[in-house]
Amino acid sequence: MKVLGISAYYHDSAAALIVDGEVMYAAQEERFSRIKNHASFPEQAIIYCLSESGYALDDLDYIAFYDKPFLKFERLLETYYAFAPKGFRSFAKAMPIWLKEKLFTKQIIRKSLKKIGGAHALKIPIVFPEHHLSHAASAFYTSPFAKSAFLTVDGVGEWTTTSYGLASGDKGIEVLGELHFPDSLGLLYSSFTYFLGFKVNSGEYKMMGLAPYSNLQSKKVQGFIDIIKEKLVDIKGDGSIKLNKAYFEYPVGLRMVNPKKWEALFGFKKRDTNEPMTQIHADLAFAAQKVLEEIIVKLAHHIKKETQAEYLCLAGGVALNCVANSVLFNEAIFKDIYVQPAAGDAGGAIGAALAAAYLKQDLNFTGLKKPFNPYLGPCASHQEIERVLRRHKCPYRYFESTEELMGTVAGHLAEKKVVGWFRGRTEFGPRALGNRSILADPSDPEMQSKLNLKIKFRESFRPFAPAVCEEDHDIYFEPGKQSAYMLFTNPVKASLRKSLPKNFNELTLEEKRKIPKSDLPAITHVDYSARVQVAKKEVNPTFWGLLQTFKKLTGTGVLINTSFNVKDEPIVNTPEDAYHCFMNSGMDVLVLENYVIVK
C-alpha cells in the first residue's frame, strides 16, 4: 500500500511517501521554496517524493492530510462566538481565508494534485486523521517499541492541545485523554516567546537557549515562577492546566498577549525584536522553561499511572524542547523515551500517512529494529554538482577516495577552519544531522562567536550542538539519554569543565558567554549542558567516519554540528543553495559530496 502524507496551510508544510508502512521519502516545502516555515501546499515536496520513488499519482492508494479542517473551523467559530464582541478584527481577517480556501481543503488538494499528475488525482481517496493522531502515529510507528504510551503536546490542532494514550502494534492508537483549546501548554510557552521578542512558531528554541543564562541565585527567578503559577496558569496534579484567559489574546486576537498586562505583571517592558537581551529576559525565559518542565513531568506521571506502560513516545512541537525531554528522561518514569526527529507539524505528514496505512492495511507494527532513518530528502548527483561549479567558474578538488576526502576535511577542521558539509540525502526535520551541516572544532574558544556572528548571522548567545560517535559519548558527556536526533541534552563531563568566577551571576549575558566553560568551550552552554547528537555507524557511516578521522588527527572526537543555513533561511537543499550560502558567509571550506572548494 502506498500513502502520500501532506501537512500544509499553517506552518512547516511537508510531504511524505509511505510504502507498506515504511517511510521512504519525506521533505519540507521550505527546502525547495527557500521560504522559512513555508505554509503553502507542498507541491515541490510531493513532486520530489513521487519522482524519486518512481511512482505516479495513479499508483497511490490513499492521500492523508494531517488534520480535520472542518473540526478546526468549528473551533474557530465557537471561540469567536464565546469571546464576542472581542476578536472582531481577527474574525474579519480569518473568515475570508477560510471561506475561500481552507474549508475546501479536499478540493484544493485535488486541484493541486491534478496540476501535478493529471485527472486521476480526482479519484484517489483522501483521508483526514485528527492532528494529534497524526502526531501520535508519527512517533509510535517510527519508534523501537511494539507497545508504548504516547504524549502529544503542541499549540493546538483542531480542538486538542495535548493528548495521551496507549499505542500497540496490534491494536493501534487509543486516546485516553485530551486537553482542549484555549488551555494549551504550547501556546503558553509561545506567549513568553512573543513577550521576549522572538517569533512565535519558530523562536521557541531561542528562548530555550536563553534560559540557562538566568541568575539562579536571584529571588527574581523564583518570583517569576510564582507569578506564572499564581496568575497565568493553574496546574493540576495530573498535569492538566487551566489558563487565566484575562492575560491572553491568542484565542481571538492578532497577538499572543496584551503587552501592557504582562508588563505590569512582570515589571518590565515587552522586548522588541532588535532590542538587546538582558538578564531579566533570561530570568523570565528560565521561569517559563521550568513551568513547562513541571507540567510535562506531571503529565508523564499521570500517563504512567493510567497506562502502566514501560515506554513513552513524544511528538508535537513541544517535544522539540530538548531540555524538557531530558528532564523527563532523568525522572525515570519510563524505561525509555522516543521522540520523532520531525516532531512538529512537518512530521504530521509522516504521521498522517502512517495512521492511514496502519488503519487501512492489515499491518502489525513490532517496533523498528534499526533507528529511524531521518535522511529522507533529496541528494545531489555529481553531474548536478559539476554544473554548479562550472556555472560559477569555481576551482575545486575532486576525491575518488572517501578516506582521502575525510583526511583532507579533518585537516581543515583541525586548522580551525569552518566547513560546509553537503553529502547524501537531506535530513527531514529541523535539525541538521550530518548531511547538511556546518562543522567546526569545538575546542576553539572563539568558534561560538565566529559561527554566530560571521557565518550564521544570529544572536551571540545561541549555543551550538556537538556531534560525537556513539562509542565516544561517555568520554565527553555524562551518562543520560543518547539521541541520534539532537532531541536531548547531556552535561559535559565534570572532568572537562572549568570553574566559573565567583562574580559570574553579576556579569552581563555577553560576558557570561565569553567565559570558557570547559575544554570544549564552543559547545558547552552556560549551565554545562550540550544538545548532543550521537552519530551511529549503522545510521550515517560517512559522518561517523569523519568524526573518527578528526579524532585520530586531533585527539578530540567531537565536532560542532550546526545546520547549513544562515539566519531566517531554510537549511540548504541543493548544491546551488550550498554554494550561495558558502560564498555569502564566513565559511572557509565547502564539501559537495566528493568535491572540495576552499576560499
Cell numbers representing residue 265 in the block: 505583571
- Judge if 2-142+342-360 and 185-330 fold alike in CATH terms: yes
Specify the fold of 185-330.
Answer: Nucleotidyltransferase; domain 5 (3.30.420)
Q: Is 502 exposed, middle or buried (0-12, 13-18, 19+ CB in 10 A)?
A: exposed
Q: Is 411 exposed, middle or buried (0-12, 13-18, 19+ CB in 10 A)?
A: middle
Residues 6+ apart with CB under 8 A from 171: none
Is 49 in contact with 16 (CB distance < 8 Å)? Answer: yes
For 562, phi then psi, to 5°, come to -125, 160
Q: What is the mean pLDDT of residues 373-395?
A: 97
pTM for this structure?
Answer: 0.95
Q: What is the CATH number of domain 2-142+342-360?
A: 3.30.420.40
**Residue 501: beta bridge partners?**
none
For 397, phi then psi, to 5°, come to -125, 130
Per residue in 427-448, pLDDT (tens digit) is: 999 999 999 999 999 999 999 9
Domain ranges (residues) in the chain: 2-142+342-360, 185-330, 382-598
Per residue in 393-414, pLDDT (tens digit) is: 999 999 999 999 999 999 999 9
Per residue in 274-312, pLDDT (tens digit) is: 899 999 999 999 999 999 999 999 999 999 999 999 999
For 405, phi then psi, to 5°, come to -60, -45
Q: How far apart are the first and last CA of the chain?
A: 49
The closest alpha carbon to 142, from 312, 299, 354, 329, belongs to: 354
pLDDT for 87 beyond 80: no
Q: Domain spanning 382-598: which CATH class is it, in words?
A: alpha beta
pLDDT for 81 beyond 90: no
* Complete DSSP assignment for 372-426: ---B-S----HHHHHHHHHHTT---EE-S-HHHHHHHHHHHHHTT--EEEE-SSP
Residue 566 amino acid letter: V
pLDDT for 118 beyond 80: no
pLDDT of residue 99: 73
Residues 6+ apart with CB under 8 A from 491: 477, 478, 480, 528, 529, 530
Q: How many CA atoms lie within 13 A of 465 on its CB side?
A: 27
Task: Give dist(CA 180, CA 217) in Å, integer.
Answer: 36
Residues 6+ apart with CB under 8 A from 320: 204, 205, 339, 343, 344, 430, 487
